[in-house]
Copies of this chain bind each other. A is one copy, B any other.
Amino acid sequence: MAILLSPIGAPAAHWQREFARLLPDEEIRVWPEVGDRGDITVAAVARLPDGELANLPKLKLIASLLAGQDALLSDPKLPSVPIVRTGDPGGDELMTETCLAHVLRHHCELPAYAVAQTHREWQPRPRRRADERRVGILGLGAIGTAAARKLAGHGFKVAGWVRHARSEPGVEIFAGREHLQAFLARSEIIVNLLPLTPETIDLLNKDTFARLPEGAAVINIGRGATLVDDDLLAALDSGHLSGATLDVFRQEPLPKDHRFWSHPRVTITPHVARRLDPAGIVARIAENVRRLRAGEPLAWLVDRSAGY
């Protein structure tokens, strides 16, 4: 029995140290040094080349190292073993902080002042209070819920768009496609935290942007393919949207010739909203390995049909 590890976001040695600390009795093999494929029962990976996981005959569990499952689930030969999440079920503190930083930046009109600075223009703008600002979060999973709570705690008027109705204190809930337009119409700053699924791909397009109020801002720290690049640029160029902050893109690194780089109302960060936390991730893998070995039900299961 061995665990196949495909390190990401931190050096392999860093991951191995955490595995040695928390699962001292397990043999860890670092991809692509797989050794005897019949030994591997657990794969801790972001994604591997298509078909690679299908080549592990004794695989019992896939532990996904990333918050989004789209890359893993896109493998057409993905074996039908359980997939478990490894992110903190209470949300990711750094992701929540990133969300607050970008929302405050748009709320305080810093993107507009940055444009004014390039023209040497001294133009104070009316200042709004947080309780006069309506922020909308697309997706209230562990991360979205933590972000919504943080923003509501700061005083913003926060709404969340979700698939299935539920309640969340201090957050106005809009559930399902039939309430997406109402959610958009009331949101001056939207933050995308949706997983990438067949239902969410291209969701942020010219129709959805048109539903946002004049001057709204878009923050995408979810997945690049949720947003239609040309539609965003058109909405910014028409003046309908005031700005966009993008951390994720259809192609990463963002190609040098992409129009986003030079657009005065687009702020780019290189996929840094979150920091992988090997210690926390390996702790959650260890819990599921323990359950697997003991024959107990697994925790934090990915729903393949939902895509997250």
Measured CB to CB, the residues of A under 8 A from B are: 93-94, 97-98, 100-101, 104-105, 107-110, 113-114, 116-117, 120, 122-125, 127, 129-130, 154, 252-254, 256, 261-262, 267-272, 275
Contact = CB atoms under 8 A, between A and B. Distances in A.
Nearest to A122: B253
A105 B127 CA distance: 19
Contact of A101 (B105, B129, B268): B105
Contact of A122 (B98, B104, B114, B254): B254
A261 B117 CA distance: 6
A124 B271 CA distance: 7
A116 B261 CA distance: 10
Contacts of A98: 108
Given A122-B253, A122-B270, A108 B114 contact: no
Contacts of A114: 114, 267
A172 to B, nearest CB: 22
28 contacts: A93-B129, A94-B127, A94-B129, A97-B108, A98-B108, A101-B104, A101-B105, A101-B108, A101-B110, A104-B104, A105-B105, A110-B267, A110-B269, A113-B269, A113-B272, A114-B267, A116-B270, A117-B261, A120-B256, A120-B261, A122-B252, A122-B254, A122-B270, A123-B270, A124-B270, A124-B272, A125-B272, A127-B272
A199 to B, nearest CB: 29
Given A101-B105, A117-B268, A124-B270, 6 more contacts: A94-B127, A94-B129, A101-B110, A113-B270, A120-B256, A127-B275
A122 B260 CA distance: 12
A254 B101 CA distance: 26
Contacts of A253: 122
A268 to B, nearest CB: 5
A125 B269 CA distance: 10
Nearest to A112: B269
A131 to B, nearest CB: 9
A268 B114 CA distance: 7
A17 B120 CA distance: 36
Contacts of A261: 117, 120
